[in-house]
Amino acid sequence: MDADVLIIGAGCAGLSLAVHLLDAGASDLEIVLLDRRDTHARDRTWCYWSGLEHPFEGAVSHSWHRWKVITSAGEVERGSRSVAYRCIPADAFYDLALERLERSPNVRLVREASVEGFRDTDSGVAAVTDDGEFEARRAFDSRPPIPGPVPAGEIHWLQHFVGLEIEADRPVFDPSVATLMDFRVMEGPDIRFMYVLPLDERTALVEDTFFGGAPRPESEYLESIAGYLEERLGIGSWSERHRERGAIPMSTVPPPVSASPRVTNIGVRAGLARPATGYAFLAIQRHSRRLAVYTVRAGVDRPMPRGRPYPRATAFLDRVFLSYLERRPQRAPEMFRDMFERVAPEPMARFLFDGGTPSDKVAVMRSLPASPLVGQALRDLGPALRDTLRRT
Ligand SMILES: Cc1cc2nc3c(=O)[nH]c(=O)nc-3n(C[C@H](O)[C@H](O)[C@H](O)COP(=O)(O)OP(=O)(O)OC[C@H]3O[C@@H](n4cnc5c(N)ncnc54)[C@H](O)[C@@H]3O)c2cc1C
């Protein structure tokens, strides 16, 4: 036996789980993380709405208390003293997590170990790698899910984007206001917007983002960002400081089942990318804490608690949202603008995290065009019921 706990993937979910296990008091468990990568460098930037404390607060590099949504019909700016939109560059997150693991003699990270599958053994489970097997009493798996065919009645979109952190040749940004969506770049049938996080007066993370459709060649996003900087922001001269690219599922398709009763899926593989937004960071923190506390209290041999990635009502609303946007992509700018304009920031932030309270959901629904959404909700009841039956 190589370990009590194996964690496959030392990305957001794998490292979060390891740190949450240590925080929950797992000092007597041997924990091994396996990752196919050979290094941890800045490969993404996680943003989320404040509302849940987590062990990586020290990696937060920027917080905004004001944000806006821009459409060709005008812009909406909102703000709150109590709610912040926060961002964590991946390198700061990795440094914090890896430093914590290095200080823990019971934790080992094995890099360049690519896991191909699992095999049940007499006393646990073995992860099969290209370089032999690692056996443990329990495993957690965060390998990205491989999308299969989309079942009838389900929606599987990708939120795909390229982001550049740029430095302008002169001060142009207002670092106190984040632009969550600038829909003025949406010209064709696809839902497309720019996302601009100003880091100071000269630097910003600027992302060209699509909801749905297939990822484009990188040059297409880059041209669009350059055009946006010049035409919309009046920045002719700038330099690139960092680049990231992503394709996050926005999907009603159930996540894959785990490879064995001894294996628990975590991260995006567990369906934690919120269908309506693609956000996963905070849900990963909450899930990691729950699994860690359970593991330490109940031990590694007891079956892990199963749960839905998001509450049933939230999943239903997300299905309605995605179906509505699929049928009426041209309404996206107006819909998001109305939501941000009409819903107070606190319920809005809770809604965007995990659906919020019932009254948060009502506030959001009331901000949206009533009759088409009600029609959509009725159409989506069938697939939602099927989903409920399948998961109970
Ligand atoms: C560029 C980008 C930006 C994002 N921004 C946000 C954001 O702002 N807010 C938000 O909430 N969410 C965001 N997300 C979505 C989500 O939070 C991230 O994708 C998050 O990293 C998911 O965590 P994870 O652990 O599931 O996957 P990952 O962090 O990708 O970790 C998976 C790990 O598994 C390893 N691995 C893969 N295959 C194997 C294998 N066969 N064997 C061993 N190891 C393997 C990988 O090397 C990786 O380290 C973003 C995603 C991307 C790609």
- Which residue lies with its CA nearest to atom 31 of ligand 1? 11
CATH class in words for 156-251 = alpha beta
Would the pLDDT of 297 be above 70?
Answer: yes
Q: Average pLDDT for residues 145-157, to the nearest whole number?
A: 92
Cα-to-centroid distance, 14 and ligand 1 (Å): 9
Residue 329 beta carbon below 6 angstroms from any ligand 1 atom: no
| pLDDT reported for residue 355 | 85
202-220: burial string, b at 16+ Cβ within 10 Å, e else: bbbbbbbbbbbeeeeeeee
At 77-127, the pLDDT tens digits run: 999 999 999 999 999 999 999 999 999 999 999 999 999 999 999 999 999
Would the pLDDT of 298 be above 60?
Answer: yes
Local confidence band at 290 (pLDDT 50, 70, 90 cut-offs): very high
Local confidence band at 373 (pLDDT 50, 70, 90 cut-offs): low
For strands 107-110 and 31-34, give the pairing.
Answer: parallel
| pLDDT reported for residue 306 | 84
- Which residue lies with its CA nearest to atom 3 of ligand 1? 44
Local confidence band at 369 (pLDDT 50, 70, 90 cut-offs): confident
Would the pLDDT of 370 be above 90?
Answer: no
Local confidence band at 337 (pLDDT 50, 70, 90 cut-offs): very high
> What strand order describes the sheet that includes 45-49?
45-49, 85-89, 62-64
At 27-81, the pLDDT tens digits run: 999 999 999 999 999 999 999 999 899 999 999 999 999 999 999 999 999 999 9
Superfamily of domain 3-61+89-147+254-298: FAD/NAD(P)-binding domain (3.50.50.60)
Domain-wise residue ranges, the chain: 3-61+89-147+254-298, 156-251, 312-391
Closest-CA residue to 124 (of 2, 257, 32, 262): 262
Domains 3-61+89-147+254-298 and 156-251 share a fold: no
What's the whole-number average pLDDT of the chain?
A: 94
Mutate to test the pocket of ligand 1, among 50, 265, 281 (most ligand atoms within 8 A of CB): 281
Percentage of the chain modeled with pLDDT above 90: 83
Cα-to-centroid distance, 12 and ligand 1 (Å): 6
Residue 35 beta carbon below 6 angstroms from any ligand 1 atom: yes
